[in-house]
Structure 1
Amino acid sequence: MTAPVLELDEVSFAHRGSGAPAVADVSLSVAAGRSLALVGESGAGKTTLLRLLLGLARPTEGAVRFDGEALRLGDRQLMRRFRRSAQCVFQDPYSSLDPRRRVGSIVAEPLRSLGLATRRTAPPRVAAALERVGLPADAAERYPHEFSGGQRQRVAIARATVCDPRVLLADEPVSALDVTTRVTVVDLLNELKREHGLTLVMVSHDLSVVASLCERTAVLEHGRIVEEGDTGQVLGAPAHPYTARLVASVPRLPGPRG
């Protein structure tokens, strides 16, 4: 069995001044090159888990491990290595890109901040990242407002993958897009997974996107995992009543009337 690249070991997290924990006793792992979805209603703890996996918050209890080593937010060298390996795509392509900067500068940001490229060596890597997500090289000279929502999310994905990370964490990556554009972005993420061996952890409330992208699914209710397993099994034959309610709540088009 492939060793986990990311792991949550009995993790709990409580916001300061809050009584109930946002996340309680969560243990999860995802192997290299595999994909995991975190699903549940608003307030279930999905985004909190993603922040913990990104090293943006410290667990109240338990540990977050990367390649078997516990993340220590105070260890700059360790966290710098982790940042080179794990990048994130955020929900809203309109607010996640700085409108005052050209796309080339936006996509090059991880290369500069992680010391992976110089001003001279960054442009070819930026061009390759833009080409990989289906955008022309001249997109680097344009501003975010010149692109559609789907194209902006492609820019965000190019920024997240320009430094060749091993892990991509995505927070509702298509929820702000129209239905047709969602399909193209989902296809792009599947292509990146397949061709580059990316490990994907995705937060989503859209179960159709989950079914299209993720091999495994963990269902959260009130900060606890109530069901976890193969996506087809979890969504097709849910074992927990909460999961069954989530699946039943998915809107379906009415059939034709005779």
Structure 2
Amino acid sequence: MTPVLELNSASFAYRGQTAPVVEDISFAVEPGHSLALVGESGAGKTTLLRLLLGLARATSGTVRFDGDELKPRDREQMRRFRRSVQCVFQDPYSSLDPRRRVGSIVSAPLRSLGIDSRSTAGPKVTDALERVGLPADAAERYPHEFSGGQRQRIAIARATVCDPRVLLADEPVSALDVTTRVKVVDLLHELKQKQGLTLVMVSHDLSVVASLCERTAVLERGRIVEQGETGQVLGAPAHPYTRRLVESVPRLPA
């Protein structure tokens, strides 16, 4: 099966800097499967998401989409890519424009990709909101009228309204309280199961990783030090750095 997204020996360094942020990264994500990127802050996880989104170009190596090298200057390829790959960002407060109504926010991908106009996007917006557990009348309200968990549901509705094949999620629940976090994780799991979404997720929360992702890649200082089935990586880590990550998870006393 051809991977939907793939990095082949990809490295990235900012202009004027010799030390790469990420170096010699290789992994592949097959359609309908899920991958977690874990590691400490500064390990390069968000940079990898930027490479996968086409927001940054690899200094060396390649990023592939459906087997073809991703070329940001290829307008036709990027049009297909943008319709197929969407992202949910970390902060549900800063990722939604407070000046726009929720319906306008959620319909933005439909309009920007030429799928629907403002006048015809209504039914898909309603479906997307209902799919994430929000009433249709939420479309007429503003982001500040919602809680943090509800805002993240709006962000997920926006990311899934055009029925993408791949969802990239950058710490999608880290800004939420524990109860709301569980609800959003359940929602992502449901969308993954019902829509066959491919999921690539950055997370510090190993319990979220264990519940959502089949495979895990562990990053340390811009390099993958271990990757494989999530149960194996987190249950019997082979690399000392992975073991330290697992051991750092707080546990309730017996």
TM-score interval, smaller chain = over 0.9
- Extract unaligned runs of 5+ from structure 1: none
Q: 2:63 is matched with which residue?
A: 64
Q: Could you report, residue by residue, the CA deviation over 1:83-136 in whole angstroms, capped at 9, with x for unpaired residues?
A: 000000000000000001000000000000000001221000000000000000
Q: 1:235 is matched with which residue?
A: 234
Residue 73 (1) aligns with residue 72 (2): yes
Residue 27 (1) aligns with residue 26 (2): yes
Report the alpha carbon displacement of residue 3 of structure 1 after superposing the two structures with TM: 2.1
Task: Report the 3-state secondary structure (helix = DSSP H, G, I; strand = E; otherwise coil) of the residue aligned with 1:4.
Answer: coil
Report the alpha carbon displacement of residue 185 of structure 1 after superposing the two structures with TM: 0.1
Q: 1:172 is matched with which residue?
A: 171
* Aligned-pair identity (%): 81
CA distance in 2, matches of 1:45, 1:171: 12
Residue 185 (1) aligns with residue 205 (2): no
Q: 2:159 is matched with which residue?
A: 160
CA distance in 2, matches of 1:84, 1:3: 18
TM-score, reference length from structure 1: 0.97
Alignment of 1:80-119 (within 5 A): 80-119=79-118
Letter in 2 for 1:13: F
Q: 1:126 is matched with which residue?
A: 125
Aligned-pair RMSD on alpha carbons? Answer: 0.7
**Deviant stretches of 4+, over 3 Å:** none
CA distance in 2, matches of 1:206, 1:180: 14
CA distance in 1, matches of 2:134, 2:252: 34
- Extract unaligned runs of 5+ from structure 2: none
CA distance in 2, matches of 1:197, 1:59: 28
Letter in 2 for 1:103: V
Report the alpha carbon displacement of residue 76 of structure 1 after superposing the two structures with TM: 1.6
CA distance in 2, matches of 1:25, 1:120: 46
Task: Report the 3-state secondary structure (helix = DSSP H, G, I; strand = E; otherwise coil) of the residue aligned with 2:4.
Answer: strand
CA distance in 1, matches of 2:174, 2:76: 34
TM-score, reference length from structure 2: 0.99
Q: 2:202 is matched with which residue?
A: 203
Task: Report the 3-state secondary structure (helix = DSSP H, G, I; strand = E; otherwise coil) of the residue aligned with 1:242.
Answer: helix
Q: 1:219 is matched with which residue?
A: 218
CA distance in 2, matches of 1:221, 1:110: 34
Report the alpha carbon displacement of residue 19 of structure 1 after superposing the two structures with TM: 2.5
Residue 141 (1) aligns with residue 132 (2): no
Q: 2:150 is matched with which residue?
A: 151
Task: Report the 3-state secondary structure (helix = DSSP H, G, I; strand = E; otherwise coil) of the residue aligned with 2:162.
Answer: coil
CA distance in 1, matches of 2:2, 2:185: 26
Report the alpha carbon displacement of residue 43 of structure 1 after superposing the two structures with TM: 0.8
CA distance in 2, matches of 1:130, 1:228: 35
Report the alpha carbon displacement of residue 82 of structure 1 after superposing the two structures with TM: 0.2
Report the alpha carbon displacement of residue 186 of structure 1 after superposing the two structures with TM: 0.1
Contact between 2:107 and 2:118, CA under 8 Å: does it hold in 1? no
CA distance in 2, matches of 1:23, 1:59: 9
CA distance in 2, matches of 1:26, 1:149: 34
CA distance in 2, matches of 1:73, 1:79: 6
